[in-house]
Amino acid sequence: MRHLLGIAGWRRDELEALLDRAQAHLPGGPDASHVLRGRVVANLFFEDSTRTRSSFEVAARKLGADVLNWSYAGSSVSKGETLLDTARNIEAMGPAVIVIRHRSSGAPGLVARHVKCAVVNAGDGAHEHPSQALLDAFTLRQRWGRLDGRTVLIVGDVLHSRVARSNLLCLKALGARVVLCGPPTLLPPGLEEMGGEVTHQLDAVLPQADAVMCLRLQTERMSEAFLPSQREYSRLFGITPARAERMKPDALVLHPGPINRGVELSPVVADGPRSVILEQVANGVAVRRAILEACAS
Ligand code: NCD
């Protein structure tokens, strides 16, 4: 595996092989501190991040790598330096892998065409966020064994969500049924062509779900008013304790973070027994260790 730019184009057996590899990177697994010893992983984050950047950093350090953390704040981007100039300069410092997050779809692909090292997409615009989809699939597989025949309901601002796109591709490839639900203004065209089912009726579909993945309203990516109000959104699409009551008894709740508590997800549900949100974060390190190992070898 040279780069990880998206889930699109991956076969089921390739995804499963990566998830199997991640299994060996769970806490308590064999020491892997020699895997990237003496090598550098460069984090290039042109957008804010809490989980993804820290998770790649912890993963890289567990593999013995040195980590170069670059962020746009305080960088020469403010002086007009281009994406490719920034990437080429970081590459000149010799990293084995560049992990990149950017507000523009396709930015990691562009960088990958101009550098010799491996490139991992840590989220590009509304396009893809493959490491998030892989850690979500890993978490569900850990709970269920297999995803075949399971229904995953993705609820919220699908239009602006790279997490939703990558998850739709990944979960479908692994055999799950994927239903996407949200207000018509926040569901992009083309989801059915990618294998998804689309609905605006949350209460009708909720009892069918084996897992519900909540998405944040990504207001910083909204160019216009897509909703009457957040309160109206919560009334129609928020995962409240009353809605959680109507889910299957063992249905799980996921969220990629950051959570806007009380908007898309009630705090009681986020911190309740259905929630696997912190399992997602913990598994993220193992999955990213597997990704870095695969890309750097
Ligand atoms: C998401 C992102 O940045 O795409 N967060 C993440 O990486 N886990 C989702 C979001 O911003 O809402």
List the domain boundaries for the chain. Answer: 12-128+283-296, 130-280
Report the nearest atom of ligand 1 relative to the CA of 161: 4
CA neighbor of 19 nearest in space, from 127, 100, 139, 123: 139
Which protein residue's CA is at the shortest distance from atom 8 of ligand 1?
A: 256
Tokens of 253: 């709740």
Residues 6+ apart with CB under 8 A from 264: 155, 156, 214, 215, 216, 217, 233, 234, 237, 238, 239, 255
39 among annotated binding-site residues: no
Q: What distance in angstroms lies between residue 203's CA and the mean position of ligand 1's atoms?
A: 25
Task: Identify the CATH assignment for 12-128+283-296 out of 3.40.190.10, 3.40.50.1370, 3.40.50.720, 3.40.50.1820.
Answer: 3.40.50.1370
pLDDT tens figures, 203-257: 999 999 999 999 999 888 887 777 778 899 999 999 999 999 999 999 999 999 9
101 among annotated binding-site residues: yes
Say if CB 5 and CB 109 are below 8 A apart.
yes
Which CATH architecture describes the domain 130-280? Answer: 3-Layer(aba) Sandwich (3.40)
Q: What distance in angstroms lies between residue 164's CA and the mean position of ligand 1's atoms?
A: 10
Torsion of CA 187, 192, 195, 199, to 10 degrees: 50
Ligand 1 lined by 275 (C-beta under 6 Å): no
Tokens of 2: 């040279």
Q: Specify the pairing of strand 252-254 against strand 177-181.
A: unpaired
**How many Cβ atoms are within 10 Å of 38's Cβ, its own excluded?**
9
Instruction: Give me the tens of pLDDT residue by residue for the chain, a chain 297 residues long.
Output: 789 999 999 999 999 999 999 999 999 999 999 999 999 999 999 999 999 999 999 999 999 999 999 988 888 888 889 999 999 999 999 999 999 999 999 999 999 999 999 999 999 999 999 999 999 999 999 999 999 999 999 999 999 999 999 999 999 999 999 999 999 999 999 999 999 999 999 999 999 999 999 999 988 888 777 777 889 999 999 999 999 999 999 999 999 999 999 999 999 999 999 999 999 999 999 999 999 999 998
% of the chain residues with pLDDT over 70: 100
Sign of torsion over alpha carbons 229, 232, 238, 242: positive
For ligand 1, mutation pick of 46, 52, 54, 155 (most atoms within 8 Å of CB): 52
Report the nearest atom of ligand 1 relative to the CA of 256: 8
pLDDT tens figures, 110-131: 999 999 999 999 999 999 999 9
